[in-house]
Amino acid sequence: MNAVSFVCFGEILWDILPGEEVPGGAPMNVAYHLQQLGYQPVVITQVGKDKKGYELLEKLHQLSINTAHVLQTGEHQTGIVNAIPQPNGDMKYDIISPVAWDFIECTDALLNEVKQADYFIFGSLAARNHTSGNTLKKLISVARKKILDINLRVPHYTESHLAALLECADILKLNEEELVLITGWWGNFESLESRAAFIAEKFRLELVIVTRGADGAMVYKDSRFYYQEGIPVKVIDTIGSGDSFLAAFIAGYSAGKSIQESLTAATKLGAFVASSKGAWPEYKTSEIFR
């Protein structure tokens, strides 16, 4: 196993697709792919003491993902999202609220876990509720390197809520549409590059990672841009493809690989997941990174 340590905080849930249910939740998707890539991520989340919650725990156990901090509550149901396929292969999401992962209480054990980790990965969705939002603030305050994976889902965010998270982040990952929307709050821009540079400077970010769907991806660091073309695939659904991209990128970056190498690997994995059903397809890394 690799020495670099990761903690992923936030939502775990079932994506309800036409005809089936698949496990997901952005931070958990990242953790799944980090595990596939040879790491041992720790996940901090919460499920209900219900059938769906026990099934998620069993799934994590089967995958050998650390569940020491997967909490359980009898007061709220396990998270579910109704995922509605769109004609272009993207998904529209109806995220049920409130659910178990909205009520993650902070403990000394969670703080100690985050203190020890090299990277703390979190999203914007898990801060929608006061309880989990407060826990996230406390965990961020002790984290070493903080990675914010923006996950904009109407109506689960506000400008002030996102700005507060951006102020705390070291590395930002978001998609093209999210970059356009967020930077539009603060000005008019002529290009994606100018938007990425603006947000990096405004919030003193080490890296800005922008996924662009079929058009590939872009990274901004130290006034320089890096690009990767998209890989043509037949899209089955895009659930979790951006999360797998982040896992592959940060795995390479944290291991000392170049940004370009990390970007290429991330694009390969993201394309594979988009061509598969659900966020947790089975694969061997040797099949993706030949």
- In the predicted model, what is the mean pLDDT of residues 242-261? 96
Query: Which range has the worst mean pLDDT, 166-170, 224-228, 274-278?
Result: 274-278
Q: Tell me what the mean pLDDT of segment 110-139 comes to.
A: 96
Residue 1 covered by a domain: no
Minimal CA–CA distance to 187: which of 202, 208, 165? 202
Any residues with CB less than 8 A from the CB of 71 and at least 6 apart, and which? 45, 46, 47, 104, 105
- Report the percent of the chain where pLDDT is more than 90: 81
Does residue 231 form part of some domain?
yes
Whether 1 has a pLDDT exceeding 70, the answer reads: no
What's residue 153's pLDDT?
A: 84
Report the pLDDT averaged over residues 263-281.
91
- Indicate whether 243 pLDDT > 90: yes
Q: How far from 268 is each of 190, 243, 245, 254, 259, CA to CA, in Å?
A: 29, 13, 8, 18, 14
* 288: in domain: no
Instruction: Say what the pLDDT of residue 289 is.
Output: 77
Q: What is the pLDDT of residue 285?
A: 87
Confidence of residue 3 (pLDDT cuts 50, 70, 90): confident
DSSP-derived 3-state class of residue 210? strand
- Evaluate if residue 90 carries a pLDDT over 80: no
Within-domain flag for 167: yes
Of 141, 143, 120, 124, which Cα lies nearest the Cα of 132? 124
Instruction: Look at residue 220 in the predicted model and tell me its pLDDT.
Output: 98
Q: Give the Cα separation of 198 and 47 in Å (integer).
A: 38
- pLDDT tens for residues 209-240? 999 988 999 999 999 999 999 999 998 878 88
- Tell me the residue range of the domain where 197 lies: 6-283
The number of distinct structural domains making up the chain is 1
Q: What is the pLDDT of residue 254?
A: 95
In a domain, residue 289? The reply is no
pLDDT at 89: 65
Contact 120, 87 (CB under 8 A): no
Q: Which residue type does 283 have?
A: Y
Place of tokens 């659900």: 278
Alpha helices in 11-129 (DSSP H): 26-36, 51-62, 108-116
Nearest to 243 by CA among 30, 35, 42, 92: 30
Is residue 130 in some structural domain?
A: yes
State percent of the chain over pLDDT 70: 99
DSSP 152-183: --TTS--HHHHHHHHHH-SEEEEEHHHHHHHH
pLDDT tens-digit profile of 15-56?
888 888 989 899 999 999 999 999 999 999 999 999 999 999
Q: How confident is the model at residue 175 (pLDDT cuts 50, 70, 90)?
A: very high
For residue range 91-124, list pLDDT tens digits in order.
777 899 999 999 999 999 999 999 999 999 999 9
| CATH assignment at residue 146 | 3.40.1190.20
* Structural domain includes residue 210: yes
Q: Average pLDDT in the 249-269 region?
A: 95
Which residue in 107, 242, 121 sits closest to 174, CA to CA? 242
